[in-house]
Amino acid sequence: MDTTLLRAFLEAADAGSLSRAARLLSLSQPSLTAQIQRLEHHLGTPLFERHGRGVSLTEAGRSLYPRARRILDEVRETENVVRHESSMSVGTLTVGAIPTVAPYVLPAAVKRMRARDAAMRVELREDYSSVLARMLRDGALDVVIAALPYAFEHLDTELLGTDALMVAVPGSHAAVRAGRITLAQLRESPAVTLDPSHCLGAQVAGFCSSRDISPSVVCHSAQLATVLELVGAGIGVSIVPAMAAARHNTPECVYVPLAEHTLQREIVAVWRRGSEKSAQARAFVDCVRDVVRGV
């Protein structure tokens, strides 16, 4: 039922006059009369009795009146609830990020975002790529910041930049003096690696396997910080992101490139396929891109 017609009906019933109701609704009297007639035609019964002093409700009109009032009250309440919930959600962005990116990129990106929009509320979720991908597909996240070569099936990825991979070695390692490490040295060194559940751990394992490197793994860690502390303690070597190396550079843990090989990963924004990207999400991803590229 057309709520516009119900409003016209209620205004006429309250005013007791079509001309007075038309003025209150900022309509011409013929327009209001046409709306009332449309409603009567739809219901198949007269709603008003016309007389010289104005109009009064028929029995059908009196039956409709409380129901029409209730319908419009519910419509108004629904509109208010939706507007309120929409206003609460505006300015809130839910972002997922993998552990080997989040601590090195998100703080600076959030700071840049707040400089653009101080009212923006960013909710962060740090987890494995597989978990974040599922949450993104389910609509629990607006965007995910992650790294390839993880396969984000049925999702779209947007390249934000690249992150070199370095080899973290103890300060006493021979590679420190040479300024690089060879494949032979990698094969001979005990290793401290991330758990393969991390996409970086899987990437490093794939690289080592393709180069016939089968190091004696002394630890599988869930935290990159733990890996670096163990390297610094002389436990072994590890392939780690350059963005982590820049934050954890100590005399005990030194970072060198792998000789004759370029190692890197691609940092990406991951989106739901076919979804509309909000202006807030796009602005935040732009901030992440600038951080990754050092702009």
Please tell me the CATH superfamily of domain 92-161+271-293, with its number: Periplasmic binding protein-like II (3.40.190.10)
Closest to 19 in 3D by CA, of 65, 54, 56, 61: 54
Model confidence at 58, in pLDDT bands (50, 70, 90)? Answer: very high
- Overall size of the chain counted in residues: 295
Q: Are 120 and 113 in contact (CB under 8 A)?
A: yes
What are the residue ranges spanned by the domains of the chain?
3-88, 92-161+271-293, 162-264
Q: Give dist(CA 96, CA 129) in Å, integer.
A: 9
Write out pLDDT tens, residues 109-129: 999 998 888 777 889 999 888
Write out pLDDT tens, residues 243-252: 888 888 788 9
Q: Are 13 and 72 in contact (CB under 8 A)?
A: no
Q: Looking at domain 162-264, which CATH architecture does it have?
A: 3-Layer(aba) Sandwich (3.40)
Q: Retrieve residue 89's tokens.
A: 């959600």
Write out pLDDT tens, residues 153-202: 889 999 999 999 899 999 999 899 999 998 888 888 888 887 776 677 66
Strand partners, 125: 96
Q: Give dist(CA 213, CA 222) in Å, integer.
A: 22
Please determine, for residue 286, whether its predicted confidence score (pLDDT) is greater than 90: yes
Per CATH, 3-88 and 92-161+271-293 having the same topology is answered no
**Which CATH code, of 1.10.10.10, 3.40.50.300, 3.40.50.280, 1.10.340.70, is assigned to 3-88?**
1.10.10.10
Mean pLDDT of the chain: 86
Residue that wins the pLDDT comparison between 117 and 147: 147
Q: What is the pLDDT of residue 83?
A: 62
